[in-house]
Amino acid sequence: MSFADMKKKRGDKLQSLLVETQKINSPSHQGDDDRFWRPELDKSGNGSAVIRFLPAPENEDLPWARVWNHGFQGPGGWYIENSLTTLNQKDPVSDHNSRLWNSGIEANKEIARKQKRRLTYISNVYIVKDSTNPQNEGQVRLYKFGKKIWDKVNDLMNPEFEDETPSNPFDFWEGANFKLKIRKIDGFSNYDKSEFATPTILFDKDEEMETLWKTQHSLSEFTDLKNFKTYEELKEKLERVLGLTTTTPDDLPFNGGTTFTPTDAVKATTQKEKTTATAETETSEEYSYFAKLADQE
């Protein structure tokens, strides 16, 4: 699809986005990928920036990717994997958690809650203002965010009240800058004060926006099958992490693991004993993963 076609059909695209939003609201991490941007926080855990969510990349349908993943610790180490439920497939953790929940035992339900999947969104953004790192301004980067920010995006696209007009925050012409405001409250990053500004065109000339559009990063790759292990591979790892064996009934719940909030996991990971070279490598990766998640809650 050309830039001209994208501009012409963007009104229709909003309707499809609203439909997709309704579906999403029904009941992996990228490591040190330098395509990703995240606001830098000060020593008190606060930060701010201004970004603009961008349309779907060329030849793609949606301006976001959504990925379900799991991150928890058992006696056999950490389980940090993308969930196959992202692809509408069965996943061993979800299956295991369902058995725990259906047991009717409250202790098992609590374990299932701690091992539940986590939803992450990924979008292209244009960095309007980054006071801490001004060299980022004017760049197109990938931005990973969670439910708190998604709710603000969704509220703009799918307003709660009839007298409010739906608006597409991913639109070049009628979208709006997003004022990201982060505060540290009770050890967690809080985004409640973040808000969209008044809708405005991004650039005065279509040519400038087309040039920007062509620099966007692919989002479809994050839901590509190559980024997901098979059910059998994930099941083997889950059993190893939870300390289950071939002689242990598959429906026997593990009752001694620990699942942390990302903030707590950062602390726990730094204290974890490094017994082998492999363990040292995994511990470093885990710290990086949870350190990033701690700022995205």
Q: What burial letters (b/e) apply to 75-96, b meaning 16+ CB within 10 Å?
A: ebbbbbbbbbbbbeeebbbbeb
Residues 246-275: tens digit of each pLDDT:
444 444 444 444 444 555 554 444 444 333
**Residue 177 · residue 128 · CB < 8 Å:** yes
**What is the amino acid identity at position 253?**
P
What φ, ψ does residue 152 adopt, rounded to 5°? -70, -40
**Residue 159 · residue 166 · CB < 8 Å:** yes
Cα–Cα distance for residue pair 38/52, rounded to 1 Å: 13
Residues 14-61: tens digit of each pLDDT:
666 655 555 444 334 445 689 999 999 999 999 999 999 999 999 999
The residue ranges of every structural domain in the chain are 3-259
Superfamily of chain region 3-259: Replication Fork Single-Stranded Dna Binding Protein (3.90.198.10)
Higher-confidence residue of 286 and 71: namely 71
**What is the amino acid identity at position 156?**
L
Residues 125-158: tens digit of each pLDDT:
999 999 999 999 999 999 999 999 999 999 999 9
pLDDT for 62: 95
Is the pLDDT at 284 greater than 70? The verdict is no
DSSP 3-state of 67 = strand
DSSP 3-state of 84 = helix
